[in-house]
Amino acid sequence: MFAVRSLVGLVLSGVLLVAGCSSPAPPPPVPSAAARVSSVPAPVSSSVASSVAREPVTVVLDPGHNGGNARRPDVINAPVPAGRGETKPCNTTGTATDRGYAEHAFNWDVAQRVGSLLEAQGVRVVYTRADDTGVGPCVNERAAIGNRAGAAAVVSIHADGATSAGARGFHVAYSAPPLNAAQGAPSVELAEAVRSGLLAGDFPLSNYLGSDGLAPRDDLAGLNLSERPAVLVECGNMRNAAEAATMSSVDGRARYATAIASGVVAFLREHAGF
């Protein structure tokens, strides 16, 4: 990792700065005004930077729940390790909008869209489940997938089902107090980056959970068991009519995906040598 950082530093200190890898601006990279007056064509230098400076970076996307969970309570209710000496059910069915649009379907769709956006930027994407019709995997296995993949970032995607219709907005959860180094500053930084992406996408901060869109949690198994920087995004409240409408629309899900992907990419650039 240090070698990668050094290489990136060397590249960024030179003329390839126009590649935009160190720019705080969200993707896609747009040459700055300074870059435009440079004699180096931005598209060429961008592709050079991609091939020279970047090593494969893996992001694990974890769409919460699964479409087949409801038909196998025997499987998903089985207790599994949840970290901090606790156990939890293997998995749950998730929530739904009042009109019946299921959370697992929302999570799956947004995760696929986030993954496509990340892959288009050269990120290797691993999903914790292969489709939206299966059962599980259990929350401890989802964490293990991120750990085995050596993920630079793990992002679980969910939507909440708060009973108060006035409850709205997103929040990003991370493990606290941290159980290992990755759950410390790296996970907080990932949470902050995803929050920034969602704010830039005009999604409102939660008015009912967390503080300023961030929620330190000690009870989420996937976060407790992660050895990689990991967050869980609750995109909004499916029981709130306005948010349900957004989540139920293709355009809305595309907006969520763009916002989350931009946050993840910003984190990778800032903290993972991407």
In terms of CB distance, is 64 or 236 closer to Zn ion?
64
At 5, the amino acid letter reads R
Whether 234 sits among the annotated catalytic residues: the reply is yes
Q: Rounded to 10 degrees, what is the CA torsion of 56, 235, 227, 60?
A: -30
Number of residues that bind Zn ion (CB under 5 A): 3
Nearer to Zn ion, 62 or 189 (CB): 62
One-letter amino acid for residue 31 of the chain: P
> Which residues inside 229-258 make contact with Zn ion, applying CB under 5 A?
none
* Distance in Å, CB of 227 to Zn ion, minimum: 22
Least separation in angstroms between CB 161 and Zn ion: 8
Kindly write out the interface string for residues 9-38 of this chain, putting x where it contacts Zn ion by CB under 5 A and - elsewhere.
------------------------------
Burial code (b: 16+ CB inside 10 Å, e: under 16) for 39-74 equals eeebeebbeebeeebbeebbbbbbbbbbbbbeebee
Q: Do β-strands 153-160 and 230-237 pair in parallel, antiparallel, or remain unpaired?
A: parallel
| 64 binding Zn ion? (CB under 5 A) | yes
Q: Which helix or strand (DSSP H or E) is residue 172 part of?
A: strand 171-175
Tokens of 209: 């959970």
Identify which of residues 46 and 240 has a Cβ nearer to Zn ion in the complex: 240
Identify which of residues 83 and 222 has a Cβ nearer to Zn ion in the complex: 222
Q: How far is the CB of 256 from Zn ion (least distance, A)?
A: 14
Among 94, 169, 229, 236, which residue sits at the site for Zn ion (rule: CB under 5 A)?
94
CB of 232 to Zn ion, least distance (A): 8
- Residue whose pair of structure tokens reads 């991120």 in the numeric block: 146
Query: Rule CB under 5 A: is residue 142 a binding residue for Zn ion?
Result: no
User: Least separation, in Å, of the C-beta of 25 and Zn ion?
Assistant: 32
Q: Where does this chain touch Zn ion (CB under 5 A) — which range of 87-95, 112-120, 134-142, 261-269?
A: 87-95
How many other β-carbons are positioned within 10 Å of the β-carbon of residue 3?
9
Residue 173 Cβ vs Zn ion, minimum distance, rounded to whole Å: 11
- C-beta of 122 vs 216, nearer to Zn ion: 216
Element of type H or E holding 252: helix 250-271
Q: Which of 103, 192, 227, 234 is catalytic?
A: 234
Nearer to Zn ion, 53 or 191 (CB): 191
Residue in 88, 142, 158, 255 binding Zn ion, rule: CB under 5 A: 158
Best CA proximity match to 99, nearest among 259, 238, 194, 268: 238
Cα dihedral sign for 243, 244, 248, 253? positive
CA 16 to CA 173: how far, in whole Å? 36
Interface with Zn ion by CB under 5 A: which residues? 64, 94, 158
The residues annotated as belonging to the active site are: 234
